[in-house]
Amino acid sequence: MAPKKSAAAPTSTATSAAAPAPTTAAPASSTIAKPTSSSGQSFDKVALNIVQHYQKTTPQRTKIIDVFMAFLVLVGGLQFAYCVLAGNYPFNAFLSGFSATVGQFVLTASLRIQTTEANKSDFPSVSPERAFTDYVVGSLILHFFCVNFIN
């Protein structure tokens, strides 16, 4: 996924991001072409390459979204692990706690899709501000339901 994305990014988006992309992509492809060289090293390089590319090309706000989504995955995973280990009583509490994180994750993912520059053409009528407002309203409704349901 990542190389494809990085390949698509420079063609469609800003020139500032396009300039470093070919330089990083080229060595990566050259290392993969040599199968005899140590594979661990090449994977390291690929990963490093991806991270570097992500850090350079991703806007600040998208990075915040990604951090928040990683946080939600962590919280949701902990809740699910607790349910598996300690049992699901009271079940409504598990449902609302777990679905709060899942729902928040879905809403945040939608925000990310709507505010990514690359998807701008898909949402011509949704400005980032509008997307954020929708997100806030949706989240508040979600929190209201979850707090109500956990009783």
Segment near another protein (CB under 8 A); pick from 3-11, 22-30, 43-51, 88-96: 88-96
Identify which of residues 22 and 87 has a Cβ nearer to another protein in the complex: 87
Closer CB to another protein, 6 or 104, in the complex: 104
Please say whether the beta carbons of 20 and 56 come within 8 A.
Answer: yes
Q: How many residues bind another protein (CB under 8 A)?
A: 43
Stretch that binds another protein, among 20-28, 36-44, 46-54, 91-99 (CB under 8 A): 91-99
68 binds another protein, rule: CB under 8 A: yes
CA dihedral 57, 63, 66, 68 (to 10 degrees): 180
What DSSP letter does each residue of 59-127 carry, written as one string? -HHHHHHHHHHHHHHHHHHHHHHHHHHH---SHHHHHHHHHHHHHHHHHHHHHHHHH-GGGGGG-TT--
Q: Which of 92, 109, 119, 133 binds another protein (CB under 8 A)?
A: 92
Q: Which is nearer to another protein, 42 or 62 (CB)?
A: 62
Please choose, out of 1-9, 24-32, 43-51, 66-74, the segment that lies near another protein by the rule CB under 8 A. Answer: 66-74
DSSP 3-state helix, strand, coil percentages of the chain (rounded to 5)? 85, 0, 15
- Taking the CA atoms of the chain, what radius of gyration do you get in angstroms? 20
Q: Which residues contact 56 (CB under 8 A, 6 or more apart)?
A: 17, 20
Query: Which residues lie near another protein (CB under 8 A)?
Result: 13-17, 59-62, 64-65, 68, 71-72, 75-76, 78-79, 82, 86-87, 89-90, 92-94, 96-98, 100-101, 104, 108, 117, 128, 132, 136, 139, 143, 146-147, 150-151
